[in-house]
Amino acid sequence: MTSAVPGTTHDDIAALTPARARERFRAGERVATSGWCAGFTQANLIAVPQQYAYDVLLFTQRNPKACPVIDVTDAGSVEPGIAPGADLRTDLPGYRVYEEGRLVAETGDAREHWRDDMVTFLIGCSFTFERALLESGVPVRHLTAGTNVPMYRTNRACRPAGRLHGPMVVSMRAVPADQVAAAVQVTSRFPSMHGGPVHVGDPAALGIADLARPDYGDAPVLADGDVPVFWACGVTPQAVVAAAGIPYAVSHAPGQMFISDVPEATWALA
Amino acid sequence: MTSAVPGTTHDDIAALTPARARERFRAGERVATSGWCAGFTQANLIAVPQQYAYDVLLFTQRNPKACPVIDVTDAGSVEPGIAPGADLRTDLPGYRVYEEGRLVAETGDAREHWRDDMVTFLIGCSFTFERALLESGVPVRHLTAGTNVPMYRTNRACRPAGRLHGPMVVSMRAVPADQVAAAVQVTSRFPSMHGGPVHVGDPAALGIADLARPDYGDAPVLADGDVPVFWACGVTPQAVVAAAGIPYAVSHAPGQMFISDVPEATWALA
């Protein structure tokens, strides 16, 4: 088999259909989804009781770089428009459960944590543009290393909405200095997947004290001459739920995304 | 004075600052705003009681072509983020008031119709990309003629959201056949202002029985060899409020937009 994701050795997971990947996650596989199902859109998940849905939706409208919404369920529905037949409570590798802003559980099956009136928001994920980076010759270090992408809470406050407030979370990819411009160009074509970077070069400017110790995901992989490049991240709602002490929320586990049936090309600008 | 809007003779209105235009509207001037305040973003307005705000916001998320939201007020606030100091109840040339889906008033001052808990949505307007069309050599017939753009209810159903459902409304500009491609290219750069056309060429395909009789705005101006080109329109929420029989809403009068302080270039893709 030829590699569906050039530059990686993960031929098997790259070639999977989204339906088959969701089946494996439903059966219990817990894994970061970078590199899975080449060509398909990956999404962050945040589900809240209906009484918080307006605040979340307004928050996403006011923070489109971190929270580009690609689907919203009706209250109580667990089947998204972007993957008919899927079950949002079981079809991700991992979930986190937040009560009063505290992380109280991490699980592979969120059914027992789901409430009847929950509204689920699916938010574009930067994993979706990683294949385009590879195809442009930009290495994706965590993908080659088989680790999760590193993610950090920053000192950048999001625009508040209703009861929601908190910091922007970013993902980081180390990019060779002479390919930073290409990385900006390629990812800017995917505004619904966070688009171009929010910052290039200086972790301290984002309030990141130690690049080696991310708040979510795995430690970064950097090569000599790499520049750290930061993209807004769909884990932001989790940091916001925590900062604002929202009574109840269920999210994906960072890096363990929902893989939809929508081709990544759907979101790409010319 | 040289013309700030090439191809028009409306030097005076094109050169106005948004603040000065809003002052004139506040003082009572009732006029379509195409061609006003060259270089600044124009917006559609729909305001609803708070209990309908979630349905409206979800509707806009599900219908981004017709309803690209650029600002949302907190309940009760009449000052938008996109024009600090402005008053959304007075600073548009004209308003429409809907009760149970019926148009019950048209006015230049909406203060007596405003309710304390209203949430106002500002939605990008295609007037914002008309200067870019002119600068690319594409004529804008209604602008040259000094008329309002023609708008039509179509047979295209929007994606419903909660209690909201109804048809997409489109604006029409007649474009010389050999410039249709340029019109598509230029307007596609402004996704937050409705982006590229939803249809080119056949009014009947959109369920428009008589192009000469628009549902909103003025009769179209067409020259020999022109092709009718249709863009999704921010009057859509008004058609939806009417179709769904929403108890109460205030909107702009079609074509009589809110002119914000945000430069049009803010929204343009490279």
HEC sequence for chain A: CCCCCCCCCCHHHHHCCHHHHHHHHHCCCCCCCCCCCCCEEEEEEEEEEHHHHHHHHHHHHHCCCCCCEEEECCCCCCCCCCCCCCCCCCCCCCEEEEECCEEEEEECCCHHHCCCCEEEEEEECHHHHHHHHHHCCCCCHHHHHCCCCCEEEEEEECCCECCECCEEEEEEEEEEHHHHHHHHHHHHCCHHHCCCCCEECCHHHHCCCCCCCCCECCCCCCCCCEEEEEEECCCHHHHHHHHHCCCEEEEECCCCCEEEEEEHHHHCCC
pLDDT for the residue B3: 34
Which residues are CB-neighbours of A157 under 8 A, at least 6 positions away? A165, A166, A167, A168
Q: Indicate the domain borders of chain B.
A: 13-126+245-267, 129-236
Contact call for residues B259 and B21 (beta carbons, < 8 A): yes
Instruction: DSSP letter for B160, please.
Output: P
Tell me what pLDDT residue A10 has.
63
pLDDT for B269: 84
Give yes or no for B58 touching A (CB within 8 A).
yes
Tell whether B1 is within 8 A of chain A (Cβ): no
Among A54, A269, A270, the residue with its CB nearest the CB of B57 is A54
Residue B99: CB atoms within 10 A of its CB come to 15
Q: Which residues of A touch B53 (CB under 8 A)?
A: 54
Q: Is A58 on the interface with B (CB under 8 A)?
A: yes
Diameter of chain B by CA atoms? Answer: 51
> Residue B116 pLDDT > 50, yes or no?
yes
Paired with B170 in beta bridges are: B152, B232
Nearest to B68 by CA among B172, B193, B152: B193
With 50 as the cut, is the pLDDT of residue B255 above it?
yes
> b/e for B3-22, b at 16 or more Cβ within 10 A?
ebbebbebeebbbbebeebb
Q: What is the helix (H) or strand (E) element at residue B243, kind and residue range?
A: helix B236-244
* DSSP single-letter state for residue B37: S
Residue A168's nearest CA partner among A97, A104, A216 is: A216
Pull the structure tokens for residue A162. 């209703």
Smallest CA–CA distance from A60 into chain B, residue: B61
Chain A interface disruption, residue of B61, B159, B165, B190, most A CBs within 10 A: B61
Q: CB distance A72–B54 less than 8 Å?
A: no
Three-class DSSP category at B175: strand
Q: What share of chain B has pLDDT > 90, as a percent?
A: 95
CA A87 – CA A80 distance, rounded (Å): 8
Please give the DSSP secondary-structure letter assigned to residue B198. S
Contact A229, A180 (CB under 8 A): yes
Contact yes or no for A57 and B58 at CB 8 A: yes
Residue B1 in this model has a pLDDT that exceeds 90 = no
Q: How far is CA B204 from CA B107, B153, B173, in A?
A: 33, 12, 16
> Residue A163 — left, alpha, or beta (φ > 0 → left; ψ -120 to 50 → alpha)?
alpha
- Residues of chain B with Cβ-Cβ distance to A162 below 8 Å are 74
Dig out the tokens for B107 from the structure. Answer: 């006015």
Do strands B118-124 and B69-72 pair parallel, antiparallel, or not at all (unpaired)?
antiparallel
Q: Give the model's pLDDT for residue A110.
A: 98
Pairing relation of β-strands B226-232 and B40-49? unpaired
Give contacts of B57 with chain A, Cβ < 8 Å: 54, 57-58, 61
Rounded CA separation B215/B228 (Å): 16
What confidence score (pLDDT) does residue B239 get? 98
Give the count of Cβ contacts less than 8 A between chain A and B. Answer: 24
Q: Measured between alpha carbons, how far is B73 from B115 in angstroms, rounded to an integer?
A: 14
CA A254 to chain centre: 7
Contact status, residue A48 vs residue A117, Cβ threshold 8 Å: no
Paired tokens of B102: 């019926």
Of A58, A69, A269, the CB nearest to B72: A58
Which residues in chain B have Cβ-Cβ distances shorter than 8 Å to A54? 53-54, 57
Residue range B129-236, CATH number:
3.30.2040.10
Q: What is the mean pLDDT of residues B142-161?
A: 97
The per-residue pLDDT of chain B, averaged, comes to 95
Closest CA to B234 of B97, B79, B73, B123: B123
- Tens of pLDDT along chain A (270 residues) come to 333 344 444 669 999 999 999 999 999 999 999 999 999 999 999 999 999 999 999 999 999 999 999 999 999 999 999 999 999 999 999 999 999 999 999 999 999 999 999 999 999 999 999 999 999 999 999 999 999 999 999 999 999 999 999 999 999 999 999 999 999 999 999 999 999 999 999 999 999 999 999 999 999 999 999 999 999 999 999 999 999 999 999 999 999 999 999 999 999 986
Q: Which of B58, B72, B269 sits opposite A72 (nearest CB)?
A: B58
Residue A7 near residue A140 (C-beta atoms within 8 A):
yes
Residue B6 has pLDDT above 70, yes or no: no
| Among B48, B50, B52, B54, the residue to mutate for chain A (most A Cβ within 10 A) | B54
3-state secondary structure of B255: coil
Residues of A in contact with B270 (CB under 8 A): 188
Among A61, A269, A270, beta carbon nearest to B57: A61
Question: What are the tens digits of pLDDT across the range B182-212?
Answer: 999 999 999 999 999 999 999 999 999 999 9
The pair of structure tokens assigned to B2 is 């040289």
Reported ipTM: the value is 0.84
- Kindly report the CATH number that applies to the domain delimited by B13-126+245-267: 3.40.1640.10
Interface test with A, best of B57, B62, B119, B123 (most A CBs within 10 A): B57
Report residue B8's pLDDT band, with 50, 70 and 90 as the boundaries: very low
- Distance (Å, whole) CA A240 – CA A63: 12
Helix and strand counts by DSSP (H, E) for chain B: 7, 11
**pLDDT tens readout for residues B207-231:** 999 999 999 999 999 999 999 999 9
pLDDT in tens, B13-70: 999 999 999 999 999 999 999 999 999 999 999 999 999 999 999 999 999 999 999 9
Residue to substitute from A48, A51, A57, A190, interface B, most B β-carbons within 10 A: A57
Residue B9: pLDDT over 50: no
Interface of A with B in 172-231 (CB under 8 A): 188
Residue with tokens 């979101």: A267
List chain B residues with CB under 8 Å of A57. Answer: 54, 57-58, 61
Looking at the DSSP bridge assignments, the partners of residue B42 are B259
- Which CATH number is A13-126+250-267's, of 3.40.50.720, 3.40.1010.10, 3.30.1490.190, 3.40.1640.10? 3.40.1640.10
- Cβ-based neighbour number of residue A102 at 10 Å: 10
